[in-house]
A and B are shown apart, each in its own frame.
Chain A
Amino acid sequence: MKIKLNSWSSVALWKWVVTDEEDVCGICRNQFDRCCPSCKIPGDDCPLVWGQCTHCFHLHCMIKWLQTESSNQACPMDRRPWVYLTGDPTTQDSQQQQQEQQQEQQL
C-alpha cells in the first residue's frame, strides 16, 4: 500500500425527515428547516413531532394547538385524534405513501 487513510474529518448535515424541503408546518406555516414562531433558532431546541396520522409539526406548535379549545385533541390537518408517533418516522414513510395512494383511489 503506497497510500493509506490515516484520518478523516468529515462533515454531515442533519435534517428532519420531511418529504419535501419546501414543506411547511401546518400550524405556523414556517418551513421545517426553520423554527416555530416562538423559537429563535432551528435545530435540536425546536424539534418536530409526527402523529400516527403521519402529519408532522413543530413540537412547540403542536403543544400550543392542543391547548386551544378548538383543537379537540385532533390533528389540525385531518381532524383525526392526535396520537404522537413513537419510534422512527422514516419507517412510516412507505405506510404514509400507501395511505395517501389509498385515499386518492377512494376519491
Chain B
Amino acid sequence: MKVYFLKKNNFIISYIHFNFKINNNNNNNNIIIFFLKKDIPTLAINFDLEWNRLKIAMDAIFNTAPLSDSLEGLYTLCENLCKYDYSSSLYQNIRNELIEYLKQEFINISKKLDEQNFLVSLSYLWTSFCKKLIMIRSIFLYLDRTYALREVKAGSLWSLGLELFKTYVANVSNIRIKAINELLALIEIDRQKKFITGEEENKYILLRTIIKMFIDLNMYEDFENAFLEASTIFYKKESRLYINKISMSTNSGQLIAEYLQSVETYLNEEVERCNLGCYNGYVDSVTRKSVTLIVENEMIKSYINIILEKGFEYLISSKAYNDLLRLYNLINRVDLLESLRIYFLNYIKKTGSFYVLDSSKDPVMVQSLLDFKKDLDDVLEQSFNNNDKFVNTVKEGFEIFINERQNKPAELISKYIDNKLRQVRSIPEETVEQLQERCMFLFRFINGKDVFEAYYKKDLSKRLLLFSKSINIELEKSMIAKLKDECGGGYTSKLEGMFKDMSVSKDLINDFIKEPEYSSRIGNVSLNVNVLTSGFWPSYPQSTYNMPQELLECQNAFSDFYLKSHSGRVLQWQNSLGFCVLKADFPKGAKELIVSLAQAIILLHFNNTDVLSYSEIETLSQMNTKELKKSLQSLSCGKYKVLIKNTEGKNVVESDSFVFNKEFESNLRVLKINSIQAKESLEERKTTREKVIKDRQYQIDAAIVRIMKARKTISHPILLSELFKQLKFSITPQDIKIRIESLIERDYIKRDLSNNTIYHYVL
C-alpha cells in the first residue's frame, strides 16, 4: 500500500494507493481516492481577530469606502477560517452584518416613504445593495462555494442577501405596497404619454429596475396582480370616456375608426411594455397575454354592439378597408366574429334591397349590383382575410335580397348581358367575358331561372336575327356554356337549339343557291332565310303584308325548295323579323339602307311615284295601322329622313302624305333605319312574362302527370311536397290546386270517390 500526498492550488489532496488481493484468482489493482476535506491545522488561529479584519472590509464596502486589505488577502483569510472549521460562525457573522446594514438602510428609506422620489431611493438602495453583495461574495467566495453551498438551506451568500432584502421590502412600513403604488402611478402616466420630455428614459430605467427587483426578490406576482387590476381600471375608464363621446357625437362612424386605432395603439404599447428587452419595456413578458386580454375585453368585447352599430356601416360604405381590417382583427381577438358577420349580412341585405326594390333604379340595377359585389370582394380580400364564412355571407345576402323582387332582376340581368353582347365591337372581348362571369354570380341566386331564360332567349333571338353580322359568336357560346355549367343541359338545350338553327339555315341557303331551279327565281337578290324550329324561339306576333312581287317570289322559291326535302312541315314567314338592305339612288349620292321588311315594302312603292299619301300606302301594303305608322315615322321623322312628311310634328296621322327625299345626303354610306325593331316594346315584355307563366303551368302539369304516372295513387300533401322538390321556381299551393283542377277536367287524373284528398292516375 502506497500513500501519496499531493498539493495543488492550496488544496491538499491525499492519494492513498492500496494494492492488495481481493481473491487468489484476481490480480487487479484497485485505486481508492480519499479527498481530505480538512488540512491538518499546524497553527492555532484567532477567529475574532481574523473576523475583525473581514468585518472592517465589509463595513468599508457598505460605506462605499476603500478597502484596507487587498481582495486577495481577504479571500485567503476567509479560506483559512473555513479550513480551521469556522465556516459556520463566519456565515453567521456575515448574515448578522447584512442584517445590521439592511436594518439601518430600511430605517432610512422608510423615512422617505412619503417623499416624491421614494422610488428613486429604493432603486438606488437596491442597485447599490446588489453591487455591495457581489463584492462581499467575492471576498467570501471560498465560503460561498463550500459551506454555504452544502450546509445552509438559504444557499449562497447572494441568495442570503436577497432573502434578507426581501424580508425588509415585505415587512418594513409597507414599502412593498408603496413601491407598487408608485410603480402603478408611473405606469399610468406612461399610458397617458405624460412623461416630461427628456425624462422618459430615466423613468423607464427606474421602472425596469424596481420591477426587476420584484422579479429577483421572487415577489413579481405581487406586482403583477396589482398591475393587472390597475390596467383593468385604466382601460375601463378609457373606453367609457371614448364611448360616451361616441354616443353623443353625430359623427360617430369616424370616431369609431379613431377608437379602433387607439385600441390598436394601446395593444401595441402593452406588448412593448411587457418586454424587458425593449427600450421602453419594463414589465415581464409573462404578463403580456393577461394585459392585452384586458385591453381587448374592456375596449372591444364590452362595447362590441356599440362599435358595430355606430361604426360598421360607416366604415364599409366609406370603403375604409384598413379600418375594417383593424375592426376584423380586433373582433377576431375577442372571438366575436359572428357578431361582425351578422352586421355584414344585414348591410348586404339592406344595400342590395335598396338597389333591387326601387323601380326607379331599374336602369342601373345590374350595374349597381355588380359594382356592389366588386366592393364586397375588396372588403373580403382586404379586410376580412377572405374568411370562408364571410365569403359565404356575401352569397347568402345576395340570395336573400335578389329574390325580394320577383322576375325583375332576372329580366334586367338578361338585358344587361344583351346590351354588352350587342356592343362587342366597342368592348374588349375579355371584359365582356368577365362581365358575363360577374353576371353569373347574380344569376346563380335567382329563384326564377325560367324568367331569365325567357328574356335571355328573346334577347338572343334578336341578336341572332337582327345583328347576326355584328355579334361575336364565341362570346355568345361562352355565355351559354356558363349557363349550362350552372343549370345543366336541360336549361340551355333550347338556347343551343337556336344556334343550331342558325347553322342549319346557313347550309340550307347554300344548298338553295346551288339549285338554279329555285334560286334563279329570285334574280339578283341576295337571300338569306333563317329557318327556326318553333319550340326553340320566342313567339312573335304574325304580321301579314301585301308584298311586292319580287319579295313574294323570294319567299315562294325558298318555301318550295325547303318543303321538297322536309315533308310534314309548313313554313310560317315571320315578317316582323329579319331585315333588308336597299340600294337607294339619291341624286346627291347612292346609299345603302338597312331597313325592316315593312320599311322596305313602303320604300319600294316609291319606285313608281315620288309622292304617296298615307292611305295609298295603306292600300298598297295592307299593313296594320300601328305597324304602318311606326314604319313611316321612322322613315320620315327619325335621324335619317328618307321620306319627307308634308306636315310638321313627330307623329304620323292618316291625312299625311310622303315625298321621296331627293335632297337626302349623309356622310355615311350605310344607314341603319331599322333600330325600332331592336327596341323592346312594352307589349313584348308582357308577352314574355305571359309566356313564362304559361310555361310554368305546362311544367307543373308535366310534373304532376309524371308523378301520377309513377305512383298511380297519391295524397294531396305528398303530391305537393314532390312538386316543390321537382320544380325549380317558386310556386304556391294555390297555383298547384288550379293545375290539379285543370288536369282533372282534362281527364288526366281523378279524385278518389270517398276521399277527395287522394288522386288517381287515369290510365
Q: Give residues in A with beta carbon < 8 Å to B.
A: 1-17, 29, 33-35, 40-44, 47-48, 50, 87-90
The interface bits of chain B over 589-610 (1 if a CB of A lies within 8 angstroms of the residue's CB, else 0) are 0001000010010011011000
A35 and B705 CA atoms in complex are apart in Å by: 15
A4 and B550 CA atoms in complex are apart in Å by: 10
A104 to chain B, nearest CB (A): 23
| Residue among B567, B592, B705 facing the most chain A CB atoms (10 A cut-off) | B567
Q: List 29 A-B contacts (CB under 8 A).
A: A1-B585, A3-B582, A3-B583, A3-B584, A5-B580, A6-B526, A6-B583, A7-B525, A7-B527, A8-B580, A8-B581, A8-B600, A9-B468, A10-B528, A10-B529, A10-B554, A10-B578, A12-B562, A13-B537, A14-B531, A14-B532, A15-B570, A33-B535, A34-B535, A41-B494, A41-B536, A42-B536, A43-B497, A44-B504
Once the chains bind, are B568 and A17 in contact (CB under 8 Å)?
yes
- In the assembled complex, B748 has its CB within 8 A of some CB on chain A: yes
Once the chains bind, are B490 and A40 in contact (CB under 8 Å)?
yes
Contact of B533 among A9, A10, A14 (CB under 8 A): A14
Contact of A16 among B490, B568, B660 (CB under 8 A): B568
A34 and B533 CA atoms in complex are apart in Å by: 11
Once the chains bind, are A43 and B533 in contact (CB under 8 Å)?
yes
B639 to chain A, nearest CB (A): 19
Once the chains bind, are A50 and B532 in contact (CB under 8 Å)?
no
A50 and B569 CA atoms in complex are apart in Å by: 12
Once the chains bind, are B525 and A8 in contact (CB under 8 Å)?
yes
| Residue among B535, B568, B574, B705 facing the most chain A CB atoms (10 A cut-off) | B568
A96 to chain B, nearest CB (A): 13
Given A2-B584, A35-B535, also A9-B570 (CB < 8 A): no
The interface bits of chain B over 461-478 (1 if a CB of A lies within 8 angstroms of the residue's CB, else 0) are 000010010000000000
Band of interface residues on B: 35 or more
Q: Give residues in B with beta carbon < 8 Å to A.
A: 465, 468, 489-490, 493-494, 497, 504, 525-537, 550-551, 554-555, 558-559, 562-563, 566-574, 577-585, 592, 597, 600, 603-604, 606-607, 660, 698, 705, 748
Given A5-B550, A16-B569, A42-B535, also A11-B465 (CB < 8 A): yes
Once the chains bind, are A87 and B567 in contact (CB under 8 Å)?
yes
Residues of B within 8 A of A11 (CB): 465, 529-530, 532, 573-574, 577-578
Name the residue of chain B whose CB is nearest to the CB of A14.
Answer: B569
Residues of B within 8 A of A10 (CB): 527-530, 554-555, 573-574, 577-578, 597
Interface of B is mostly: mixed
A15 and B358 CA atoms in complex are apart in Å by: 42
A43 and B569 CA atoms in complex are apart in Å by: 11
Contact of B582 among A6, A40, A44 (CB under 8 A): A6
Once the chains bind, are B582 and A42 in contact (CB under 8 Å)?
no
Once the chains bind, are A43 and B535 in contact (CB under 8 Å)?
yes
Contact of B607 among A3, A17, A42 (CB under 8 A): A3
A36 to chain B, nearest CB (A): 12
Residues of A within 8 A of B558 (CB): 12
Contact of B606 among A2, A29, A87 (CB under 8 A): A2
Residues of A within 8 A of B532 (CB): 11-14
Question: Known contacts A9-B529, A17-B570; can you find 15 more A-B pairs with CB under 8 A?
Answer: A3-B582, A3-B584, A3-B585, A4-B583, A9-B580, A11-B529, A11-B574, A11-B578, A12-B559, A12-B571, A13-B531, A14-B562, A34-B698, A41-B497, A50-B568
Once the chains bind, are B531 and A12 in contact (CB under 8 Å)?
yes
Contact of A5 among B533, B577, B604, B748 (CB under 8 A): B604
A85 and B558 CA atoms in complex are apart in Å by: 25
Contact of B493 among A5, A29, A40, A50 (CB under 8 A): A40
Residues of B within 8 A of A14 (CB): 531-534, 562, 566, 569-572
Once the chains bind, are A2 and B490 in contact (CB under 8 Å)?
no
Residues of B within 8 A of A90 (CB): 567-568, 570
Name the residue of chain A whose CB is nearest to the CB of B584.
Answer: A3
Residues of B within 8 A of A6 (CB): 525-526, 580-583, 592
Residues of B within 8 A of A17 (CB): 568-570
Name the residue of chain B whose CB is nearest to the CB of A50.
Answer: B568
